[in-house]
Structure 1
Amino acid sequence: MSKIIESGKGFVLPDDKVQQSVSRRKFLGYGAAASALVIGIAACNKDDDNMPSNGINLGSGDAGILNYAYALEQLEAAFYTQVIASPYSGGSVAEMALIKDIRDHEIAHREFFKNALGSGAIQALEPDFSSVNFSSRESVLNTAKAFEDLGVSAYNGAGKLIVKADYLVLAGKIVSVEARHAAYIRDIISNGTFADNTVVDTNGLDKSRTPAEVLTIANTFLKTKVTGSNLPTS
């Protein structure tokens, strides 16, 4: 199995040209918004302890919620980067092209949060994908489904915890993209399951999870554990 290439402590694509393309095509679209958020986030992070003994503390308030999203986007970006670096057998050309698009989106989301948070961003996280067989289409797609469903439910659960309206708008734009990913992955696994009752409730609403519920799952895929003990709960 090929490894994810590391740059310092962060994850990058194996092909520098692809990384540059992602930066230009995807990330620049977020640049202005990221710059506008930096000042407010930095003010919220002055007293946060980012490295407690039981893991990396995401922080508190809106900045903590954004670090929470950043942690999840790091995980997803690392996963799809590995999928493309060591493609599974049995995937059509069209399928792999769309998986690459998802990878690019997740990298753009990761870089957006990293730049928006500035010095208040948590460190780069080291994933643990030992439970994933990257040569198996079934293993990869089922893991992708789990990650995408988790991400959508995480944003849904965190929305009510965000105070600043600008952050809520941005979270809404990102979760809608994550939901598109989830729908696509679900349908290539089993057509028609894009919005079944495992993710959509009887009121026609996407299900949600609290940060504590999400991090319990996410940490099983991380060597570098994170804690949301200081995140708002209501």
Structure 2
Amino acid sequence: MQLSKTHFLKGDKESIAHPQRRQFLQKLSLGAGLLTTIGMASCKKDNDSNPSMGVSLGSGDISVLNYAYALEQLEAAFYTQVVATPYSGISTGELKLFTDIRDHEIGHREFFKAALATAAIPTLTIDFSKIDFTKRDTVLKTAQTFEDLGVAAYNGAGNFIADVNYLALAGKIVSVEARHAAYLRDLITPGSFSSGSDIVDANGINISMTPAAVFAAAGAYIKTQIDTNTLPK
């Protein structure tokens, strides 16, 4: 899904205008049935936080959706910054593609936020102070890391999802994340879009990561403390 620049709220580069929840879900081809299912689950208010442990992701499928929502917040924030402050020498084509990726990630983020409703975790505090956004190599490498991490995270969380509608949603989103990852790898090293034993095993299957491993890697940028103890094991 590609969102035009008119979707953004004036003065807030990380937000898009909030259409009606039903319209947003229909744009992602999920339909009213999934909206009702998520809405009923979110009414359980599973995201109560324990100050000593951090923000709770909730329980069951809600915890997995909040897990994905946290990662989409990270990615959306990163690409918003990339587009807002393009690195030195960025080409028109690269800026266009980074803008498309930004819009995809914002779409994913806003979908989870709307679908989870009151069960959604709050907006996370993100810190990119260690990233030099003026350097192409740094931005591309970080983007590759985030996209590979996202794909591995969705793959690792798939077996925890009980509701087949949620699983179908995850499959649609991870396929887009994989397209991003392939594009970025090819920008760094032409022809390497699907290669690398760090992402694809000998059987041609993309690797997966546990939530604990994913948050350990993302923790350098997500400053909000998150309690992952309720995630399915």
TM-score bracket relative to the smaller structure = 0.7 to 0.9
Name the residue aligned to 1:8. Answer: none
Name the residue aligned to 1:187. Answer: 186
Give the match's secondary structure for 1:41: helix
For structure 2, the 5+ residue unaligned runs are 1-10
In 2, the alpha carbon distance for the partners of 1:91 and 1:176 equals 26
For structure 1, the 5+ residue unaligned runs are 1-10
Q: Which moved more, 1:49-58 or 1:143-152?
A: 49-58
Letter in 2 for 1:151: G
In 1, the alpha carbon distance for the partners of 2:55 and 2:189 equals 37
Offset, 1:27: 7.2
Identity among equivalent positions (%) equals 52
Let me know the Cα RMSD of the aligned residues.
2.5
Structure 1 segment 153-164 matched on structure 2, within 5 A: 153-164=152-163
Structure 1 segment 7-156 matched on structure 2, within 5 A: 12-13=12-13, 19-20=16-17, 29-30=27-28, 32=31, 35-43=35-43, 45-156=44-155
Post-superposition Cα deviations, 1:136-194, rounded to whole Å, max 9, x if no partner, equal 11111111000000000000000000000000000000000000000001100111221
Shift in CA distance, 26/60, structure 1 to aligned 2, threshold 3 Å = closer
Letter in 1 for 2:136: R
Letter in 1 for 2:27: G
Give the match's secondary structure for 2:118: helix
Give the match's secondary structure for 1:220: coil
In 2, the alpha carbon distance for the partners of 1:201 and 1:185 equals 19
**Structure ranking higher in helix proportion:** 1
Give the match's secondary structure for 1:224: coil
Offset, 1:23: 6.6
Aligned 8 A contact 1:65 1:162 in 2: yes
Offset, 1:41: 2.4
Shift in CA distance, 119/53, structure 1 to aligned 2, threshold 3 Å = same
Offset, 1:26: 7.8
Post-superposition Cα deviations, 1:84-137, rounded to whole Å, max 9, x if no partner, equal 111101221111100000000000000000000000000001101111101111
In 2, the alpha carbon distance for the partners of 1:47 and 1:223 equals 21
